[in-house]
Structures are given as structure tokens and as C-alpha cells.
Amino acid sequence: MTVAHVYTVAFQGIEAREVDVQVHIGEGGSGIFNIVGLAVKAVGESRERVRAALAAIGLALPYKRVTVNLAPADMPKEGSHYDLPIALGLLAAMGVLPASEMAQYVAMGELSLDAQVTAVAGVLPAALAASEQGRGLICPAACGPEAAWAGGIEIIATPSLIALVNHMKGAQVLSPPVAKLAEDVRNTPDLKDVKGQETAKRALEIAAAGGHNLLML
């Protein structure tokens, strides 16, 4: 049994923990596509985004049983950034991309239905984790400048799935991203514009920093 491996991360606070995305395509199953490994609903929805994105670049999943395991299975996985590593694992398992080469990368990115790779949060911690693991990073083009602050690792910042496939095959070269600060967004509402209400603002800041739920009356 051949299993393709691509790596990504799961976030616990601001810490990025390694996740091994294992993809197996086996006989039988009549097109069944399962994602296992303590994945929440948003990760489960990756199935349809990945299926549509592959179709958008002219590929279809084989009419076999596809199993994606997000290991370790006892660590919760949430977020849409699992789309890209799952797609790359499938491409490696299908023989479209070299499996041995894909196993050298940490990948993260959300896929649109037309196979564009859209921005996700947490790219810099993922880049730092990839550096510690001795791997490169594959991320959305929009996140490339953020990832480049990690320094010292190979970063492939791609706008689309087909551009990434062409890059890996040598048919198209994606330029390495250059580190830069995010653009200053003007006229954005800010808590500092609220006069008074110090206790309420403090509660909002704590909830936002910790990712907590909040009901304010």
C-alpha cells in the first residue's frame, strides 16, 4: 500500500504543530472520499473544494476509495488551510506530482472552486515551524510576503493550483516572495475611537486575543 505524505500544521494558540497529511487511493469504494483524524466540519468540507479545484485544472479523482488521514489523530484540526495539502497529497498519490518531493514541504492554503489558492491566517508561524522541521513552505501568493519574514527556507507562494503544478514540473517558475509589511488600511474602525467603555473594550480585547466567544449586552 503506497501512501503519499504532505505536511501542514494545526494551531494551538499561536503555536504551529506538525500535521502529517497521509493520502491513500485504494481499490473499491466507488468514489468514496473520507477525511479522518479528528477534523472539524470545515475540514470535512475540504472534500468538495478539493474535488472542484481538481476538476478546474482538468483532473478527476479516480473512481476508487480515497482516504485522507490527518495525523496525529488525537489532535483537533480546524480551518480551511488543509485544502491545499490535501489536494497536493492527492496529486502525489495519483502520480501527477512526485510523492518524494512533496513530502519535503509544509503546505497551507484554501482552495476556491476554480482552483485559486486564497489567503489563510497563520502563515508566519507555519513558516517558522517548517524551518524547524527542515522543510520548505507552500502557501498562497497573498501570504508570501508574510512567510518570507521567517527567512532561510524555500517558500513557494502560488496564486493557483495549476501554477503550483507547473512550477513543480518546471514548466513555470514562481518567483520567491519578498518580505514586506502588510499594507496600511485606512479608515478602518478601531477600538481607540471609542470614548470611555474601558471595561467593555478590555473584554473585547481579551476575547479576540484568546479566540473566545463573547456575548455583550
Query: Is 131 domain-assigned?
Result: yes
Q: Which domain holds residue 145?
A: 4-186
* Residues 114 and 49 sit within 8 Å (Cβ to Cβ): no
Structure confidence at residue 19 (pLDDT): 94
Out of 22-26, 66-70, 186-190, 212-216, pick the least confident: 186-190
Identify the band that residue 183 occupies on the pLDDT scale cut at 50, 70 and 90. Answer: low
Report the sign of the C-alpha dihedral through residues 136, 93, 3, 32, in that order: positive
Q: What is the average pLDDT score of the chain?
A: 89
Residue 139 and residue 176 in contact, taking contact as beta carbons nearer than 8 Å: no
pLDDT in the model for residue 211: 83
Q: How far apart are CA 16 and CA 135, in angstroms?
A: 14
Cα separation of the two ends of the chain: 57
Kindly state whether residue 27 falls inside one of the protein's structural domains: yes
What pLDDT score was predicted for residue 179? 85
- Cell numbers 524555500 correspond to what residue? 154
- CATH number at 153 reads 3.30.230.10
Number of domains, the chain: 1
pLDDT reading at 13 higher than 70: yes
182 pLDDT band (50/70/90 cuts)? low
* Pairwise CA distance, residues 180 & 140, whole Å: 15
Amino acid at 119: A
What pLDDT sits at residue 17?
92
pLDDT recorded at residue 114? 95
Beta strands, E only, 33-81: 33-36, 65-71
* Pick from 94, 41, 36: nearest CA to 67: 36
Considering only 31-40, 73-82, 107-116, 197-206, which range has the smallest mean pLDDT? 31-40
pTM for the full model?
A: 0.81
Q: Residue 91: inside a domain, yes or no? A: yes
Return the SS3 of 112: coil
pLDDT of residue 185: 59
Whether omega for the bond prior to residue 72 falls within 30 degrees of 0, making it cis, is yes
Assess if residue 191 is contained within a domain: no
**Does any domain span residue 197?**
no
